[in-house]
């Protein structure tokens, strides 16, 4: 069973993906993550206008069998959250890189370069997922 | 599913299967220095006959008293059917319901309890119960704090007229978290009601939650509508700490103010649980649907199995520590199943109408007592505001001595307020429930009058336990 890992995105070791559009970053969890979690039933998103910090827990996704923390891959201000997930958390299972996006961040100027440099490419993330398989 | 202890034969067989000679060998890993050989502080065991005699002697010390004491635990008549049914093996020794397919009876009962409790409170959801009223209030405050993640410091207003033991428990449980500030709100000396307006001038920052007792510790009815609206106007969560029996007669928390209280909690003992020297009792906790994911404790849900047949399960378990450990809403992983069973049977037998009649009888008895006491020399009714079934009186003689003298007449006359509320002076909190007849009340008043009429030096010499 192959989970998709789109080439144009960046990834974190904790299974989040990042898409950069100019100075806005969109964040979600990967196809691998949603497969491991199973059917999602609830999502707790960060407050708009709050700040998130690299590596710190910023959201929670809850499935029928587990509740998992989502760690922010970047530092910045939350400018938008995907409200559709409050009613339809299963969008994450159906379309983790599209309709299942979690929130959007305006990164802090001073930290953006450092944050992005630490992210994994699609190839690096593919290797990591393979090494985690047991 | 029956749970039967192992026989010696069973144990031998199991040991043989795993290749262990004696049961004691399974504890070989424990270092000798940590083992307890004997327990000298514990007396030798008694036979059933000796134990039964000892307990009868102890029980006789408290029995036969006419009880006019409330202060958080209330004597109500419990129909014989309640404990007859609750004592059945299926209820009395049912196992904890984590295996849904083996616990449908327990889970259905808890679901029925939750439904009745939510209905009584006028709110959307109830949990399956907590330990008792005080910790329920503490959990409600923690719920309010979690729901207000934006606040840097959580400020919670707690009336001085809230049960003093609940205030202690709240301090103990919540006080460990530095970010939660507990602020005391005074009560009006004339009415006994909490004065929220007194807080306005001191409040510069946000308020997280306001605790609204109903009735308060003095038996006085608070202006719950005004307090709820005040809380909401200040962006705070309104938490009702209520007597569930009173809610059968008064407006329930879900209907307070313009939007209704957000959370309601309290002590479930009045509903079918005997006084039993202080416990076990149970705490109830209910809330609006918006807060359900912050609700601690077990929640039972109704669902269908793969064949479409109705079934009951523990649900929303991601709130609990066996799923989320450090992120759990609470460390509690149990509920007071047997007491909740008794309460559910009690509420079923009485129904909403029967419950209202009991509450009304309590209220009318308290009014009758108040009238009789008002004309007594040496007695002053302190608060001239509506009350439920408890009243506060100021006595012309020391309360502890009066209580001792009345105990000699086999009357438990009430709760001494003087040590906890020194600002009130020699005050007594008296409770009358539906269990008292007019004759009982008249006897109480007669004995009190006699005791108050004794001369001061006689009273001064009465010995009281410290």
For residue range B163-204, list pLDDT tens digits in order. Answer: 999 999 999 999 887 778 899 999 999 999 999 877 776 666
Domain A10-121 adopts which CATH fold? Answer: OB fold (Dihydrolipoamide Acetyltransferase, E2P) (2.40.50)
State the best of A67, A70, A71, A86 to mutate against chain B, taking most chain B CBs within 10 Å.
A67
Tokens 């009560």 -> residue: B187
* Residue ranges covered by each domain of chain A: 10-121
Position B368 pLDDT exceeds 90 = yes
Residue A84 at interface with chain B, using a CB cutoff of 8 Å: no
Per-residue pLDDT at B2: 65
Query: Considering Cα of B26, then B27, then B31, then B33, what sign does the dihedral take?
Result: negative
Residue B350's pLDDT band (cuts 50, 70, 90) = very high
Residue, of B258 and B96, whose pLDDT is higher: B258
Q: How confident is the model over B222-233, as a mean pLDDT?
A: 95
* Gap between the Cα atoms of B150 and B147, Å rounded: 9
Subunit contact A42:B293, Cβ cutoff 8 A: yes
Which percentage of chain B shows pLDDT scores above 90? 77
Per-residue pLDDT at A134: 59
Q: Are A73 and A115 in contact (CB under 8 A)?
A: yes
Position B320 pLDDT exceeds 90 = no
Q: What is the DSSP string of A94-123?
A: H-TTTTT--EEEEE-HHHHHHHHHHSBPHH
Position B374 pLDDT exceeds 50 = yes
Across the interface, which of A42, A47, A67 has its CB nearest the CB of B323? Answer: A67
Q: Are B167 and B159 in contact (CB under 8 A)?
A: no
Per-residue pLDDT at B198: 77
Subunit contact A67:B150, Cβ cutoff 8 A: no
In angstroms, what is the C-alpha Rg of chain B? 25
Per-residue pLDDT at B61: 84
The phi and psi torsions of B461 (rounded to 5 degrees) equal -85, -5
Q: How confident is the model over B3-9, as a mean pLDDT?
A: 87
Where in chain B are all domains bearing CATH 3.90.1150.10?
66-74+352-460
Q: Which of B464, B444, B455, B459 is nearest to B393 (CA)?
A: B444
Q: How confident is the model over B369-388, as a mean pLDDT?
A: 95
Tokens 């290749």 -> residue: B19
By residue count, chain A amounts to 134
Q: Which residues of B touch A (CB under 8 A)?
A: 149-150, 293, 318, 323-324, 327
Mean of per-residue pLDDT scores for chain B: 92
Cβ neighbours, 10 Å, residue B146: 14
| Helix ranges (DSSP H) in B122-274 | 133-147, 164-174, 224-233
Strands B379-381 and B310-314: unpaired
Cβ neighbours, 10 Å, residue B224: 24
Q: Find the residue in A nearest to B322 (Cα).
A: A66
In angstroms, what is the C-alpha Rg of chain A? 14
Q: What architecture is domain B83-344?
A: 3-Layer(aba) Sandwich (3.40)
Q: How confident is the model over B286-303, as a mean pLDDT?
A: 93
Residue A25's pLDDT band (cuts 50, 70, 90) = very high
Give 3-state DSSP helix, strand, coil % of chain B, rounded to 5: 45, 15, 40
- Cβ contacts of B323 on chain A, cutoff 8 Å: 66-67
The phi and psi torsions of B34 (rounded to 5 degrees) equal -95, -5
Per-residue pLDDT at A9: 93
Tokens 């938490």 -> residue: B239
Residue, of B260 and B62, whose pLDDT is higher: B260
Position A33 pLDDT exceeds 60 = yes
Q: Find the residue in B nearest to A63 (Cα).
A: B318
Across the interface, which of A47, A62, A69 has its CB nearest the CB of B150? Answer: A47
Residue A49 at interface with chain B, using a CB cutoff of 8 Å: no
Q: Which of B244, B292, B259, B254 is nearest to B73 (CA)?
A: B244
Kindly indicate whether the domain formed by B66-74+352-460 is annotated with CATH number 3.40.50.1820: no
Interface confidence (ipTM) of the complex: 0.71
Residue, of B289 and B146, whose pLDDT is higher: B289
Per-residue pLDDT at B13: 96
* Gap between the Cα atoms of B85 and A79, Å rounded: 58
Across the interface, which of A42, A47, A67 has its CB nearest the CB of B324? Answer: A67
Pairs across A and B, CB distance < 8 A: 14
Per-residue pLDDT at B466: 54
The phi and psi torsions of B445 (rounded to 5 degrees) equal -65, -40
Position B435 pLDDT exceeds 90 = yes
Residue B37's pLDDT band (cuts 50, 70, 90) = confident
Where in chain B are all domains bearing CATH 3.40.640.10?
83-344
Q: Smallest CA–CA separation between A105 and chain B, in Å?
A: 18
Bridge partners, residue A63, by sequence: A40
Position A1 pLDDT exceeds 70 = no
Q: Find the residue in B nearest to A44 (Cα).
A: B293
Residue A62 at interface with chain B, using a CB cutoff of 8 Å: yes
Per-residue pLDDT at B74: 98
Per-residue pLDDT at B309: 96
State the best of A42, A57, A62 to mutate against chain B, taking most chain B CBs within 10 Å.
A62
Subunit contact A47:B327, Cβ cutoff 8 A: no
């Amino acid at each position: 069973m192959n989970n998709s890992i789109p080439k144009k995105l960046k990834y974190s070791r904790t299974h989040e993906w990042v898409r950069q559009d100019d100075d806005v970053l969109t964040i979600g969890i990967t196809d691998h993550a949603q497969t491991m979690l199973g059917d999602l039933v609830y999502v707790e998103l960060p407050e708009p206008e709050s700040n998130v910090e690299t590596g710190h827990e910023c959201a929670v996704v809850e499935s029928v069998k587990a509740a998992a923390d989502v760690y922010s891959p970047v530092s910045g201000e939350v400018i938008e959250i995907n409200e559709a997930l409050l009613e339809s958390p299963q969008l994450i299972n159906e379309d983790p890189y599209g309709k299942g996006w979690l929130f959007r961040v305006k990164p802090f100027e001073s930290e953006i370069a450092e944050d992005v440099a630490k992210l994994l490419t699609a190839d690096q993330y593919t290797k990591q997922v393979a090494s985690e398989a047991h | 599913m029956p749970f039967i202890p192992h026989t010696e034969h069973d144990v031998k067989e199991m040991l043989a299967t795993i290749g262990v000679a004696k049961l004691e060998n399974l504890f070989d890993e424990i270092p000798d220095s940590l083992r307890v050989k004997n327990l000298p502080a514990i007396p030798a065991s008694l036979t059933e006959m000796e134990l039964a005699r000892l307990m009868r002697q102890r029980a006789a010390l408290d029995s036969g008293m006419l009880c006019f004491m409330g202060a958080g635990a209330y004597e109500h008549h419990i129909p014989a059917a309640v404990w007859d049914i609750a004592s059945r093996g299926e209820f009395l020794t049912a196992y904890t319901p984590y295996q849904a397919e083996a616990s449908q009876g327990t889970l259905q009962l808890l679901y029925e309890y939750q439904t009745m409790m939510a209905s009584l409170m006028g709110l959307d959801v109830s949990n399956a119960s907590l330990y008792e009223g005080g910790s329920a209030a503490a959990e409600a405050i923690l719920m309010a704090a979690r729901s207000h993640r934006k606040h840097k410091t959580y400020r919670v207003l707690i009336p001085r007229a809230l049960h003093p033991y609940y205030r202690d428990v709240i301090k103990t449980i919540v006080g460990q978290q530095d970010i939660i500030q507990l602020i005391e709100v005074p009560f009006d000396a004339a009415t006994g009601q909490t004065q929220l307006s007194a807080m306005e001038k001191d409040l510069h920052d946000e308020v997280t939650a306001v605790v609204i007792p109903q009735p308060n510790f003095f038996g006085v009815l608070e202006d719950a509508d005004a307090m709820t609206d005040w809380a909401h106007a200040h962006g705070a969560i309104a938490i009702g700490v209520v007597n569930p029996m009173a809610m059968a007669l008064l407006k329930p928390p879900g209907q307070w103010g313009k939007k209704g209280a957000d959370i309601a909690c309290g002590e479930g003992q009045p509903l079918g649980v005997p006084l039993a020297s202080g416990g076990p009792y149970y705490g109830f906790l209910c809330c609006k649907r918006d807060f359900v994911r912050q609700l601690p404790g077990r929640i039972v849900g109704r669902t269908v199995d793969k064949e479409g047949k109705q079934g009951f399960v523990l649900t929303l378990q991601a709130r609990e520590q066996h799923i989320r450990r450090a992120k759990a809403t609470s460390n509690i992983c149990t509920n007071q199943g047997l007491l909740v069973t008794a309460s559910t049977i009690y509420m079923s037998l009485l129904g909403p109408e029967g419950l209202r009649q009991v509450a009304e009888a309590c209220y009318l008895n308290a009014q009758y007592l108040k009238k009789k006491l008002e004309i007594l020399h040496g007695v002053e009714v302190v608060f001239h505001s509506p009350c439920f079934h408890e009243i506060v009186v100021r006595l012309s003689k020391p309360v502890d001595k009066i209580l001792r003298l009345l105990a000699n007449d086999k009357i438990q006359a009430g709760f001494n307020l003087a040590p906890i509320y020194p600002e009130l002076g020699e005050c007594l909190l008296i409770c009358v429930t539906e269990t008292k007849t007019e004759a009982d009340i008249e006897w109480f008043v007669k004995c009190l009058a006699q005791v108050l009429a004794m001369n001061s030096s006689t009273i001064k010499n009465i010995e009281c336990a410290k």
